[in-house]
């Protein structure tokens, strides 16, 4: 079946690195995404990775993909209070002739001084 799992909470100290983990089920997923949701707002795309890549780096963000274990992670270096938000992992899965996105439940990141 289609399922994306994430831990629900993560608390880190300002300046430390945050690592948010995600597992997915569809081995044929071609795209995997990380979205960020700040309080009272919709989701905003942070980054995405193609399934033929192992790693993608974008400034303070590093995405690691382990296709064998169907494991995706998002590392935020030098975490700031402005990074406090809910982070959603999503896989693109093929259904009914088109791709649809399956989201995880979201990881709430709390950054404390």
CA–CA separation, 35 vs 27, rounded Å? Answer: 20
CB of 49 to another protein, least distance (A): 13
User: Which CB atom, from 17 or from 44, has the smaller least distance to another protein?
Assistant: 44
CA–CA separation, 56 vs 101, rounded Å? Answer: 20
User: Which CB atom, from 77 or from 105, has the smaller least distance to another protein?
Assistant: 105
Tokens matching residue 10: 């993560």
Summarize as ranges the residues that interact with another protein (CB under 8 A): 30-31, 35, 40-45, 48, 88, 92, 95-106
User: Which CB atom, from 74 or from 104, has the smaller least distance to another protein?
Assistant: 104
DSSP 11-73: EEETTS-EEEEEEE--TT--EEEEEEE-TTS-EEEEEEEETT-SEEEETTEEEEEETTTTEEE
CB of 41 to another protein, least distance (A): 6
CB of 113 to another protein, least distance (A): 26
CB of 12 to another protein, least distance (A): 21
């Amino acid at each position: 079946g289609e399922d994306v799992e994430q831990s629900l909470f993560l608390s880190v100290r300002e300046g430390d690195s945050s690592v948010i983990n995600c597992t997915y089920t569809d081995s044929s997923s071609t795209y995997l995404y990380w979205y960020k949701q700040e309080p009272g707002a919709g989701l905003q795309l942070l980054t995405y990775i193609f399934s033929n890549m192992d790693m993608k780096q974008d400034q303070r963000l590093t995405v690691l993909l382990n296709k064998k274990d169907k494991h995706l992670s998002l590392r935020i270096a030098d975490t700031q209070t402005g990074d406090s938000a809910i982070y959603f992992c999503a896989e693109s899965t093929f259904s009914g002739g088109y791709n649809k996105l399956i989201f995880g439940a979201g990881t709430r990141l709390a950054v404390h001084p």
